[in-house]
Amino acid sequence: MASNSSSSTAQQRLRIIAGHLQKRPEDENASVAAQECKAEAPRSEPSSATPVPRRRQEIMKWNGWGYSDSRFLFTKKGQAEFTGKRYRLSGLILPSLKDWFEGTFGANLQHRSPATPSLNLSAVAPPNLNQPFVEDLKAAGLVVSHDPEDRVFRAHGHCLHEVFALREGRIGRVPDMVVWPSCHSDVEKIVELACKHNVCLIPYGGGTSVSSALECPREETRSIVSLDTSQMSNIHLKDVFIMRCTAVTLTLHIVSLTAGSETLHKASTPLCLSRNTFPVRLLNEHGYCTGHEPDSMEFSSLGGWVATRASGMKKNIYGNIEDLVVHIKMVTPRGVIEKSCLGPRMSTGPDIHHFILGSEGTLGVVTEVTLKIRPLPEYQKYGSVVFPNFQQGVACLREVARQRCAPASIRLMDNEQFQFGHALKPQVSSMFTSFLDGLKKFYITKFKGFDPQHLCVATLLFEGDRGKVLQHEKQVYDIAAKFGGLAAGEDNGQRGYMLTFVIAYLRDLGMDYYVIGESFETSVPWDRVLDLCRNVKERIVRECKERGVQFPPLPLSRVTQTYDAGACVYFYFAFNYRGLNDPVHVYEQVEHAAREEILANGGSLSHHHGVGKLRKEWMKESVSGVGLGMLKSVKEYVDPQNIFGNRNLL
Amino acid sequence: LAPRHPMLKKRDSFEDILEERRHSSDLRYALRCYTPTLYKGLVPCKASMLKSIVLQSDHLQYVIKQVSSESGDSTECVAEEASLILDEMAHRLQLSTVRFFVFTLSKAFKRLFRSVCVNEEGIQRLQQAVQEHPVVLLPSHRSYMDFLMMSYLLYMYDLPLPVIAAGMDFMSMKFVGEMLRMSGAFFIRRSFGGDKLYWAVFSEYVKTMLRNGYAPIEFFLEGTRSRTCKSLTPKTGLLNIVMEPFFKGELFDVNLVPVSISYERILEESLYARELLGIPKPKESTSGLLKARRVLSEDYGSMYVYFGHPVSVRSLTEGKITRSQYNLLPRCIPQKPSADTHEFLNDTAFRLVRIQEGNMVLKPWVLIATLLLQNPDGMDLSSLAEQTDWLRHLALAFGAFLDWPDHAACSEVISCSLALHRHLLSVSAGHVQLSVTDAPQVETTPEEAVFHQAVVVLSCASYRNQILHVFLRPALLAVAMQSANSNRKDDVYNCFNFLRNMFSSEFILCPGDSVQDFEEACYLLMKRGVLQVLEHEIVMSASGHSTLAFLSSVLDPFLQGYQVVSRYLCEETNENLTEKEFIPAVRNFALKLILAGRLKCYEALSSDLQKNALAAFLRLKAVMKVKVGDQVTLKVNKIAVNSLEDTLGKSDVISHQNSWWSRLVL
């Protein structure tokens, strides 16, 4: 088995991005030079190899994204800096962020909109406890809390309106109590008691939902209990065993930390491979990986992935969650649902896994998941390609998809996002580097005639054995060349991937200066990708104008996944809200309009964020009345009392 | 889209563009630097490149394969055919040709018109619209001048030159056809119903230009020049083509710009009247055009071009079209518009035509023509002045866009108008009468005399028709009130609705708008103090009689004309009446009635009215079309026609046509 210093995916990526962040001059020319996976310990060993503490607020922000010690700020000199020690970007200065920020949004560092510093406990309504239920739980030896901080922490995901309200100190309905099961039978006990006493259960995993899935329904009159699955993870790490199914596919059985309800997709680092939520490190130590790397994997949970039909960045090699799952065990009010074997495929009627995948915590709690695992790749390499415009870029990705030669990850950023990525370039250490940057820019814009206002960049990540990676890389670059693409080095590629993990931290920075924003996503057939991106962006600009937004908004788009039949498109959208009375309402109206535009242009309701309560109104239109009726009848059978009453999806 | 109450409309003021032309060099003007404002998303491409984009498009490739598999011809062969169709169709816009036209047209316009007036605010709005989204220009169509003038104006204001959908008949004009092609016209066949390939080439060609923002697309909603100066029932085919890129998400939005072009005197005036009387339209030919040079020596008064507010297709469709209906098929596969899309297109087309109508400038002569037609025996000048003034106020109250000269006495305005249209009139001893002025003095048969008089009447009617849209709804109500059995609102509404259905091919009446139309009519007449509309009853005010009588007599020629047609269908037809024979036969029938002195209404001779009447009877199922061999024959349900005629006859109580005025004076 591979040792700790072998080619661990996590460490590999950490090292490469670190290399990019602390740029060494010799890396600059190495646009196609292969890199050997060397044993190099990451700079910051994950600080908490232990599971998430029950009191999450001790290490995480109560009103923003991620760890309390990690945040962006503008120093007195007006330079942007990322604090803490957890990430490779931590402690670095980002000299161009301020100009980009002020120039793009019309924001000003003098105009601050700071958050309420601490939670006002008196704003939290006293818990509505179901005493007999509480007593039965305690009698069963379960850990519970009705501490206001614990409850507030589990009352929200990371939608803009949720975080904005917290920053203003506004607290709505929160769960009345939190319970922490530590194993499958604990969950069975809790569900049984909930049915007996008729209380509402809302499963809680990583809290990274962006679909209002964790919001307590206003109309709920019963006692609401948040079922936090975080303490289920480490208990069974010792029980990990590996089954050799075939020579290439291995199955790892992990009794998981699991949850129902939240969507996993908020940007976070793919570098810090899930210290707390998933025993990836252990897996890596054995020389394996699941290959499932959603951008939020630092915080999100395995159960959450299952419950929302998650998608990982490297799905081209490993597949999405539905392709990775071999077996699921879920506790429902009707009892436990699971398959009887680990067969890789079954023809036994509709796949019961598909009732669970994407059920968003409405049917029960996922307590065990068996995932396929794969040997860790021998070799990994970033890359990027510059295209003269977005159209050419999309045409290239489509051709790559047609030839089925997509690397582990291939993403196409539009021009605005490319410029955004550039604003996140850390301080360059030498004259030589900045000279080279200048040269590169000159080559692309003047010599090749690319318009800096139109060019766009595809970022690539190759994985596999070394020979094949190099061969694969050549194939992809050859296709790109046919569409006018120029190889633009690993540097740009890495920066592109970095963007996805810092974006959520950056939103908190924006909110300190009157800038609010959010991301949303869709999937769409290839022939509609361009039209959809253009129309949605234009709709956003128009809606903002009509709703009195004083500054031009910034809509960005990115093609993040390729499929045979289409692509996943991701949007970021932010604007400066100075002068607006109710910015969140304006934001919501604009996002609503953008979603209508997506649907009108042949996009789906969601590729991987899920529906939650935010997008429920379009479910019928999306899956037809009969389709919705089918889902409702399943809910009716499985949970007639609506114990899992988060009211998502249906 | 259209404000329901026309009085609320605000209209821009006009600038005379000929003013400057009269003072500076036309040549220098034609050669000046032309730098049009461009669409922000323009994909620059040459006219020649357009062809290959169209031929390579997924849509056309799909249809070529389909046609090839259906017909058994090789795809190369079908593709070749497509390429030929495109060659025949495509424009070859060249700035040099446009400059040539600008030079010659400057000369011509100055000779023909006293002034050419344009609302410059409309131009500014268009300049804005052109940059934001692809633009479709929708001018009204009354004359050949229309599209020449449009291109001329766009050149003049540094706007991108439009490409214009023109009928194939122009192409047969040697040299001129090619000149028009080089100034941006593209040619489409008049009918290509079942020809899939033709439709595909044509629609893809238009859509490609629209998507690339190549140039504004210009076409005529009415399909052809209106010979009667009434707006024609709009066609939806091209409208569907230009909207589809929006429906399918290929464009964020499309701006439709209705343009109203009105003439104080129409160049084709008597030509149209002759055509309506069955003297066939001369084939467009260059020599014909040269003969038309005579036209250049006459005075045609002023011309007005009003650029309406751009209408965003996106906002039009809001809540009406589910764009996601196009999600399930690849967009290159042609789809027939769904039922609700079709309804939307139809509705929109009507509304756009109503906007065109509303922005047409009406000259005082239009009022005079209306009065003279109602008084076939002529009027005293003093009484004409008095009634014109009265009518002017009524028209303004109903929202007419009337260009009445400021600070001029009514009699002065009238004598100017009479002078401009003297060829239709005889004035002697203070008495004005519509009459034949240039008729040969050699003896004519009674039939010829009737036709000569009819030319004058129909020419004059083409001016009255320009104001019909202002009076139409109140007039329908006025007639309905006369023919209804009671004053009860629902009785009156039923009659109104009957008339509306009867005349829906004759006038622009948006399908499905009958309730709004009724309310609009009630509102206008109530405001004028003519009616009181109570909860269940509509009561005429004491002073309202004359207005109602006037309004009824506005519709009188149409009521009479439709009755003539129905009488013909009942009395004269046999089993074998073919569709082709219908018009000449009705014309003969009407002619006989006139000669016998039983009919005074010359407008019954108009083929337009006869066609519209037949369309109404077909729509109301009183007549059926039956295909026998390759002939279409008309099967008449005489009982149904008779009962329709009875209902119409009830309305036709005003046989003394001018009685309304005497009541007013009393």
Assigned domain for B598 exists: yes
Which structural domain, as residue segments, surrounds residue B180? 14-31+46-265+300-359
3-class secondary structure, B497: helix
Q: Region A121-148: what's the mean pLDDT?
A: 94
Q: Which residues of A touch B (CB under 8 A)?
A: 525, 527-528, 531-532, 534-535, 538-539, 599-602, 621
pLDDT of residue B662: 52
pLDDT of residue A276: 35
Taking the CA of residue A530 and the nearest CA in chain B, the distance in Å comes to 9
CA–CA gap between residue B456 and residue B270 (Å, rounded): 8
pTM of the model: 0.87
Are residues B345 and B488 located together in one domain of the fold? no
> B250 to chain A: which residues are within 8 Å by CB?
531
Percent of chain A residues topping a pLDDT of 90: 61
CA–CA gap between residue A492 and residue A437 (Å, rounded): 11
Assigned domain for B451 exists: no
**Residues contacting A200, CB < 8 A, separation 6+:** A194, A220, A222, A223, A224, A225, A642, A643, A644, A645, A646
Taking the CA of residue A386 and the nearest CA in chain B, the distance in Å comes to 21
- Interchain pair B252, A621: CB under 8 A: no
Out of A532, A539, A599, whose CB is closest to B324? A599
Taking the CA of residue A54 and the nearest CA in chain B, the distance in Å comes to 46
**Residue A214, H or E segment:** none
- Interchain pair B249, A602: CB under 8 A: yes
> B323 to chain A: which residues are within 8 Å by CB?
600-601
pLDDT of residue B535: 87
A435-465 tens-digit pLDDT: 667 667 767 777 777 888 888 999 999 999 9
Helices (runs of H) and strands (runs of E) counted in chain A: 20, 20
- The residue among B270, B259, B170, B182 whose CA lies nearest residue B218 is B259
| A200-204 and A224-228 strand pairing | parallel
Are residues B351 and B469 located together in one domain of the fold? no
Distance of CA B586 to the CA centre of its chain: 24
Confidence band for B428, pLDDT divided at 50, 70 and 90: confident
The widest CA-to-CA distance across chain A, in whole angstroms, is: 76
Q: Regarding predicted confidence, which is higher, B659 or A247? A: B659
A353-385 tens-digit pLDDT: 999 999 999 999 988 888 887 888 999 999 999
Q: Region A414-440: what's the mean pLDDT?
A: 76
Choosing among B212, B243, B253, B324, which should be mutated to test the A contact, i.e. which has the most A CBs within 10 A? B324
> A534 to chain B: which residues are within 8 Å by CB?
252
pLDDT at B574 over 80: no
- Interchain pair B250, A621: CB under 8 A: no
Are residues B353 and B481 located together in one domain of the fold? no
pLDDT at A24 over 60: no
Are residues B320 and B205 located together in one domain of the fold? yes
Q: Identify whether A570 is a catalytic site residue.
A: yes
> A600 to chain B: which residues are within 8 Å by CB?
249, 322-324
Confidence band for B483, pLDDT divided at 50, 70 and 90: confident
Are residues B182 and B313 located together in one domain of the fold? yes
Out of B250, B252, B330, whose CB is closest to A538? B252
The catalytically annotated residue of A87, A288, A382, A570 is A570
CA–CA gap between residue B254 and residue B246 (Å, rounded): 7
pLDDT at A167 over 50: yes
pLDDT of residue A336: 96
Out of B252, B322, B326, whose CB is closest to A534? B252
CA–CA gap between residue B316 and residue B330 (Å, rounded): 25
Q: Which residues of B touch A (CB under 8 A)?
A: 249-250, 252, 322-324, 326-327, 330-332
pLDDT of residue A20: 47
Are residues B355 and B493 located together in one domain of the fold? no
Chain B residue closest in CA terms to A538: B252
- Interchain pair A621, B330: CB under 8 A: no
Q: Region B398-407: what's the mean pLDDT?
A: 89
Out of B252, B322, B330, whose CB is closest to A527? B330
- The residue among A638, A639, A616, A640 whose CA lies nearest residue A628 is A616
Q: Regarding predicted confidence, which is higher, B203 or B575? A: B203
Chain B residue closest in CA terms to A600: B324
What's the burial of B108, exposed, middle or buried (CB within 10 Å: 0-12/13-18/19+)?
A: middle
Q: Which amino acid is at B147?
A: F
pLDDT at A265 over 50: no
Assigned domain for B431 exists: no
Assigned domain for B295 exists: no
B305-347 tens-digit pLDDT: 999 999 999 999 999 999 999 999 999 999 889 999 999 999 9
The lowest-confidence range among A593-597, A632-636, B373-377 is B373-377
- Interchain pair A602, B250: CB under 8 A: no
Chain B residue closest in CA terms to A531: B250
Confidence band for B179, pLDDT divided at 50, 70 and 90: confident
pLDDT at A262 over 70: no
pLDDT at B19 over 80: yes
> A601 to chain B: which residues are within 8 Å by CB?
249, 323
Are residues B469 and B605 located together in one domain of the fold? yes
Confidence band for A102, pLDDT divided at 50, 70 and 90: very high
Burial profile B207-239: b = 16 or more Cβ within 10 angstroms, e = fewer: bbbbbbbbbbbbbbbbbebbbbbbbbbbbbebb
Taking the CA of residue B211 and the nearest CA in chain A, the distance in Å comes to 11
Q: Are A642 and A369 in contact (CB under 8 A)?
A: no
Burial profile A515-550: b = 16 or more Cβ within 10 angstroms, e = fewer: bbbbbbbbbbbbebbbbbbbbbbbbbbbbbeebebe
Are residues B200 and B319 located together in one domain of the fold? yes
Q: Regarding predicted confidence, which is higher, A176 or B647? A: A176
Confidence band for B406, pLDDT divided at 50, 70 and 90: confident
Taking the CA of residue B324 and the nearest CA in chain A, the distance in Å comes to 5
Choosing among A543, A601, A621, A623, which should be mutated to test the B contact, i.e. which has the most B CBs within 10 A? A601
Out of B252, B324, B331, whose CB is closest to A527? B331
> A599 to chain B: which residues are within 8 Å by CB?
324
pLDDT of residue A438: 67
Residue with tokens 């997709």: A265
Domains contained in chain B, number: 2
CA distances from B531 to B517, B551, B606 (A): 16, 13, 34
Are residues B352 and B468 located together in one domain of the fold? no
Percent of chain A residues topping a pLDDT of 70: 82
Q: Region A393-397: what's the mean pLDDT?
A: 97
pLDDT of residue B656: 43
> B62 to chain A: which residues are within 8 Å by CB?
none
pLDDT of residue A451: 85
Confidence band for B128, pLDDT divided at 50, 70 and 90: very high
A219-254 tens-digit pLDDT: 999 999 999 988 876 433 333 443 333 323 344 444
Q: Which amino acid is at B452?
A: H
Taking the CA of residue B114 and the nearest CA in chain A, the distance in Å comes to 44
Confidence band for A77, pLDDT divided at 50, 70 and 90: confident
Number of residues that this document lists for chain B: 666
> A392 to chain B: which residues are within 8 Å by CB?
none
Confidence band for A186, pLDDT divided at 50, 70 and 90: very high
Out of B249, B322, B330, whose CB is closest to A531? B249
CA–CA gap between residue A163 and residue A169 (Å, rounded): 10
A477-530 tens-digit pLDDT: 999 999 999 998 888 788 778 777 788 899 999 999 999 999 999 999 999 999
Are residues B355 and B496 located together in one domain of the fold? no
- Interchain pair A600, B249: CB under 8 A: yes
Assigned domain for B649 exists: yes
The lowest-confidence range among A313-327, B253-267, B437-451 is B437-451
Number of residues that this document lists for chain A: 650
Confidence band for B408, pLDDT divided at 50, 70 and 90: confident
Assigned domain for B380 exists: no
pLDDT at A53 over 80: yes
pLDDT at B1 over 50: no
Assigned domain for B414 exists: no
Assigned domain for B527 exists: yes
Are residues B345 and B484 located together in one domain of the fold? no
CA–CA gap between residue B455 and residue A391 (Å, rounded): 61
Q: Region A47-65: what's the mean pLDDT?
A: 78
Which among B359, B384, B406 is the end of a domain? B359
pLDDT of residue B440: 56
Which among B316, B334, B359 is the end of a domain? B359
Which among B342, B359, B376 is the end of a domain? B359
Out of B252, B330, B332, whose CB is closest to A535? B252
pLDDT of residue A452: 84
Q: Are A486 and A84 in contact (CB under 8 A)?
A: no
Q: Are B197 and B64 in contact (CB under 8 A)?
A: yes
pLDDT of residue B197: 94
